[in-house]
Amino acid sequence: MEEPSRTVNTITEQQKRQIEGLVQELNEASRVYYNGQEEIMPNYRWDELFDQLKALEEETGYVLPDSPTVSTGYEEDNSGEKENHEYPALSLAKTKSVEELKQWAGDREVWLSWKLDGLTLVLTYDNGKLTKILTRGNGTTGTNITFLKDSLFGFPDTISYKGHLVVRGEATISYKDFAALNDMIEDDDEKYANPRNLASGTLNLDDPAEVKNRHVCFYAFTLVHMDEELVSWGERMAFLTEQGFAVVDHEKVNADTLPEAIDRWTVDVETGKMDVPVDGLVICYEDTKYAAGGSVTGHHATRAGFAFKWQDESVETKLSYVEWSCAVSTISPVAVFEPVQLEGTTVSRASLCNLSEMERLGIGEESTLEVIKANKIIPKCISARDAKGELQIPKECPVCHAPTEIRVSEKSHTKTLHCTNPSCAAKHVRKFTRFVSKNAMDIDGLSVQTVVKFINDGFIRRYGDIYRLEEHLEEIKQMEGFGEKSALNLKNAIDSRREISPIRLLYGLCIPMIGLDAAKKLLNTLGWEEFYHRLRNKTSFEDVDGIGVEKSNSILNWYGEEEHAKELEYLLEQVTLLPLERAATEGGSCKGLTFVITGDVHYYKNRDAFKEYVEAQGGKVAGSVSKKTSYLVNNDVESQSSKNKKAKELSVPIISEDRFVEMFVKE
């Protein structure tokens, strides 16, 4: 390593080795993190080691040039053309203290917004046209990915503003799209760890069509430069919205109102309302001229903004046992412990991820565990002590009892446990749960646990078996958790889905690379009869817009397997396919309109069901309010939320869900 960049105070050889080791470990984790590879360190662990490193550097004055405390990012491994940023993309100072945020705000107005968990991109416009997209890279130099401009969402190709414009924002993949894309990957070792990991890997791809299929959305979080002087940060964000950008949610506050706003925003994370991944909050000054007047300290500008990361509340509890859960082929350890209160909820289980994480924690048959909710959502074990006895790794699969084997990833050297039986029932769970999901057959009462139980009892082997579960009704009534009423409810739920949209059926078949959008493109273009005719005659689908060679081959290869062809034929005997016009509901009452849906809903089962209705009626649903929005639907019409404020600024009508039903739902 190079010589340290600061004067060294008193330092021991042990401290020196510890600092060098932490820098190496953190930088390797960052390299993987920024390049979409298999994650080797969870975020909370990275933050913990970063804090250790920072404390050691402050104590000793020994700071290496490549220390993550002074670097501004990490250069991507991809082979794209590297370019210098016109304006360096420096990091924000971070804190877990609300008091520190208040002190930073002082007596000035500030804006609160999400710290989105994706990849920062910088967009440049000249003469009203998008001319460049750079990744953040190391903050000084990024990778030019302008060739992907038609494959990303959330920003316009052209704008009405004709001057020089530079916009910085975050490219993200929603939890919903993340889950759908991961379901397409059959090899567990190739699955992505989280949406940010997937977004990073996606922007390293060379195929624009594949990038577009992954629904990467850009949210602007700051206007870096425009030729005219516009001092107000809020007005700048409003300007970006008017130009057609999706912008990060934001709310104006001050030091006095900041704590209450943070609590309110935190509830949205804790209650799972956020479909876009976030890992904290950001505040920035309303007065951008004042903000630009700060100095640069270390790897951040002192007035550019302040990032807030939630202080993880931790509790200690006693391990009861480790449950081994088999999903697809991976057998994952889950710690089951004495119930504890954490972030306002009762928690009694937490994933241990894999064998490597168990070894790192040092968990025994008996252990005292320290548990947190990472980013206020996911229970995690972060430490273990007082371990007694050696925890036994199962030698047979808990589902089919076939032998297990330990595999070590070539990329990250992570140890995972796997079932060796290719016919293990658990390996079919994902396809069946997708088949009954709300975007496919939408059958209530068939949870993952219930599907596993029915598979193990021999009730389900093929999709069509779901429609014959009534043959096992008496047995189901006797099962734990069922009874007469719930068994009949399940039968009724299945019967209500015997007439189904061909689009839902095609999506539910779990054909690799064929998600909901691809299913819509295929069937809206061809219709079911032509699609099925081509399938049976092994005729290409490449001519369908948005499908291409890879997806076409995937469909034909899937049907080319005899068991899949027979499974589809058997399924078609159990259901009736609706005409596409009927499946899309005839009237098209939302045709040509764009809606933004926010807050809780009650008429529809959830927001996805609401969105599905709008799209079936020819409308569109967007994530943020812009001048293109026809209606904002919010049951709290008088709310002071950022979306309501934006709608009022742009004179977009705000209507309740009930009013929407009155206007657009035809009984």
Report whether 380 contacts 42 (CB < 8 A). yes
SS3 246: coil
And the tokens for 350?
A: 């937490």
Q: Which of 216, 189, 191 is nearest to 202 (CA)?
A: 216
In whole angstroms, give the CA distance from residue 5 to residue 62: 8
In whole angstroms, give the CA distance from residue 623 to residue 170: 14
In 536-619, beta strands by DSSP E: 576-577, 594-598
3-state SS record for 312-343: CCCEEEEEEEEEEEEECCEEEEEEEEEEEEEC
3-state helix, strand, coil in the chain (%, to 5): 35, 25, 40
Catalytic residue among 115, 380, 643, 646: 115
In whole angstroms, give the CA distance from residue 647 to residue 243: 15
Name 479's Cβ contacts closer than 8 Å, sequence gap at least 6: 453
In 144-297, beta strands by DSSP E: 165-172, 217-226, 250-253, 278-285, 296-297
What is the CB neighbour count within 10 angstroms for residue 637? 15
What is the CB neighbour count within 10 angstroms for residue 92? 18
**What are the contacts of 36-39 at 24+ separation with CB within 8 A?**
36/192, 36/197, 36/198, 36/199, 36/200, 36/201, 36/202, 36/203, 36/204, 37/197, 37/201, 37/411, 37/412, 38/189, 38/193, 38/197, 38/409, 38/411, 38/412, 38/414, 39/193, 39/194, 39/197, 39/412
Name 297's Cβ contacts closer than 8 Å, sequence gap at least 6: none
Report whether 316 contacts 370 (CB < 8 A). yes
Nearest-5° Cα angle at 460, 458 to 466: 145
Catalytic-residue membership of 115: yes
| Residue 387: CA count within 13 A, CB half-sphere | 15
| 485 phi, psi to nearest 5 deg | -70, -50
Report whether 513 contacts 550 (CB < 8 A). yes
What is the CB neighbour count within 10 angstroms for residue 586? 10
| Residue 552: CA count within 13 A, CB half-sphere | 13
Residue 355 Cα to chain centre, angstroms: 24
Which residues carry out catalysis? 115
